[in-house]
Structure 1
């Protein structure tokens, strides 16, 4: 199937060709026909499979089919959980609308309110926003949602995890005259996502993509056993100095990030970093330096585990294991995108081995150990703990029978 066969406008097909795409991905092939028919969408797809274009293309086609008759406020509203993801969706919207007269804008927390005012004063067709900042503008009456015709929620599960559920519902109420809704989530199994969907969607098409072999991430995963922090640091330096094009290194706290940043600087390894409560201009600058290849290593806390879309990240390194197995999956999803090969390495101290077992069970893939000869651990590598078996409860009938 081609984009032309999906009955998309020539201007949009021209844009995706400019972006280097010749055929729609599985999630795009599923979503676009139903979305063009005006149906609400409830969809999930693995990271790196073209999800953003799956909602942008039909939204842009709607705008081209129903041109604005007179100046007005935003017609398509896209909400994202993080600032970085909002900027990336905005950039892709600009690329997809490059051969049209459609106008896009973005507002996020951390940006000067004067910049927001300038953005919102435009005759916007598409607005990408983080929920908290947009609600502030609604409450100050500096943003108008009455003209919104389509509401799109990207990474709805992450929005719920970050506590944005109530805010999103308030925004949806402000945009109550909309004609269509689309909700995208990494998983549709969460009870919170199902509740979200019931509150916002109307008889949606439920779509779960099974990516083709070409689209699936090819991520090689293993771990190194570290005796202690010093051993872990030595392993990291060895890995970063040998055959790595670029890498995202995840740590669990801001304090750990700062300490690791200073240590790597002492080892002549240049890094940039992302962490919570960081001014937006500095976050944007750090990402730009990493994306351009100016700096090969990006240190990040989990604020960057979702939504960061950097083409051709060769390695993801878990300097600290996360607290949850699903966070591990989101972290390593920064590599192996759009069918490219990637590598995920975990540096694991003894207290982290329980998480190794959880990750293996969650991903249904074994996380196997490897050893660097020059940095062999002195302590024996613990075995990955097996899944605990739940004891079966005896029913009252069985207990009675046993007594008799």
Structure 2
């Protein structure tokens, strides 16, 4: 087992940057993916948010550029694709921090940026470009971005790219970068749509790595739930948690309509909040994230679609005001707290119909989520018990009922 970054045989200037960023030992995904990537293999990795996956693909890319320096100015040699603009910015910022003691140029190409800014970037020597698929494709089609120099193609949050409909675009980009030496694909999961939505020739004999957040990492997140009798009770519980228990919280809702309703209730209660939701203009979305990031407001309301690819520091509480549609989404949500070695809290406010989802989440994460109470807001109803349907008994009943009908008809 690799115990520290020095054992990865990275360039001294990269090790110095790692030390300055305060990283002491590699996370599981870093320890497993970096050696494979440094050996030149394609990598297919699953790593949930908050497990240090960005450094797992950025460090090998930087090492490669150090080992094989460019001989003359020219276009990018490493292309990193991300599903959202925010994620592209974060990946680029982290890459710049890790490349601090090198002379490498790292740029982003995303939507929401003036054409002239990109034209200036494309006229310079680039080493790493972090891009969103749609915008990059525009430049390739207008012959302003040259893929022939790409030696390494990296896909971050590949499953989300598929969810957002970027599958065909990524396949085209892969074909445009066909002279590359290496491909790395990172996804939250390797099941289902995680990889299957992309063409099989994207990766060649990849090293397959699955890094679950370690027990130690997950223990940093205290998880519990409160039962709510109805919507009024649910709202009172939320107000109590965000005003008296939480310092900075992200509150998750399942739809834009639900978000709008809660926003109005919090405004009535004079609780300041920012919000992000799907199909929101980029400038308003950036403004909401900035207000939360700089502490102007300490509550951010979000839908799952809108929260894709955002990394916000110092989130003390993730609150599931609405339970998610699946246990994997729950894990994604709670990964927004306890970042960079800090502790965090995940609170779910559940109504009677949400109780089975709590059970599903417990089975998925392999641990119990305890119920807690706020003294003056204890639920008045008993906890619902959902009995598992006994299929054998049900089948016997159906057979018995059918035979009764037959007997009755004969009579």
TM-score between both structures, scaled by the size of structure 2: 0.88
Distance 1:46 1:388, change over 3 A: farther
* Structure 2 counterpart of 1:319, from 318, 321, 332: 321
Q: How far off is 1:104 after superposition?
A: 0.8
**Which one of the candidate residues 95, 98, 106 is aligned to 2:97?**
95
Displaced runs of 4+ in structure 1, greater than 4 A? Answer: 210-214, 386-394
Q: Any conservation in 2 of the 1:8–1:61 contact (CA below 8 Å)?
A: yes
Matching residue of 1:20: 22
1:150 aligns with 2:146: no
Distance 2:146 2:394 in 1: 57
Q: Deviations over 1:213-252 (max 9, x none)?
A: 5444522222222222222111111001113121100111
Give the Å deviation of 1:338. 4.3
Find 2:265's aligned residue among 263, 278, 288: 263
Q: 1:98 to 1:359 in 2, by over 3 A?
A: same
Question: What does 1:236-247 correspond to in 2, within 5 Å?
Answer: 236-247=238-249
Q: Distance in 1 between matches of 2:378 and 2:394?
A: 45
Instruction: Determine the structure 2 residue equivalent to 1:116.
Output: 118
Displacement after TM superposition at 1:202 (Å): 0.9
**Structure 1 unaligned residues grouped into runs of 5+:** 395-404
1:138 matched residue in structure 2: 140
Between the aligned partners of 2:197 and 2:342, the Cα distance in structure 1 is: 35
Q: Partners in 1 of 2:259 and 2:238 — Cα distance?
A: 13
CA distance in structure 2 between the aligned counterparts of 1:232 and 1:117, rounded to whole angstroms: 51
Q: How many residues align?
A: 393
Which position in structure 2 is the counterpart of 1:402? none
Indicate the residue corresponding to 2:354 in structure 1. Answer: 352
Q: 1:307: how far off?
A: 2.8
Query: Which residue number in structure 2 is paired with residue 205 of structure 1?
Result: 207
In structure 1, how many angstroms separate the alpha carbons of the residues matched to 2:67 and 2:218? 33
Q: Deviations over 1:329-368 (max 9, x none)?
A: 1111111234432211111223333323332332233333
Note if 1:35 corresponds to 2:31. no
- Whether 1:372 aligns to 2:365 is no
Deviates more, 1:317-326 or 1:110-119: 110-119
Partner of 2:297: 295
- Compute the displacement of 1:197 (Å): 7.3
> CA–CA distance in 2 between the matches of 1:361 and 1:86?
33
Separation in structure 2 between the aligned mates of residue 53 and residue 136 of structure 1, nearest angstrom: 28
CA apart distance, 1:182: 0.5
Bigger Cα Rg: 2
Q: Are positions 1:62 and 2:82 aligned together?
A: no
For structure 2, which runs of at least 5 residues remain unmatched after alignment?
396-411
Residues 167-176 or 157-166, more deviating: 157-166
CA apart distance, 1:290: 2.0
Alignment TM-score, normalising by the size of structure 1? 0.90
Tell whether the 8 Å contact from 2:48 to 2:332 is kept in structure 1 after alignment: no
Pairwise CA distance, 1:205: 1.2
Indicate if the aligned counterparts of 1:305 and 1:327 stay in contact, CA closer than 8 A. no
Hey, what's the Cα distance between the residues in 2 that align with 1:330 and 1:155? 12
Q: 1:122 to 1:217 in 2, by over 3 A?
A: farther
For residues 53-112 of structure 1, what are the alpha-carbon distances to aligned partners after superposition, in whole Å with 9 as ceiling and x for unaligned? 010001011111111222221111111122221111111111111111111111223333
Query: How many angstroms does 1:386 deviate by?
Result: 5.3
SS in 2 for 1:224: strand
Query: Matches of 2:377 and 2:302 in 1, distance apart?
Result: 25
CA-based RMSD of the aligned residues comes to 2.3
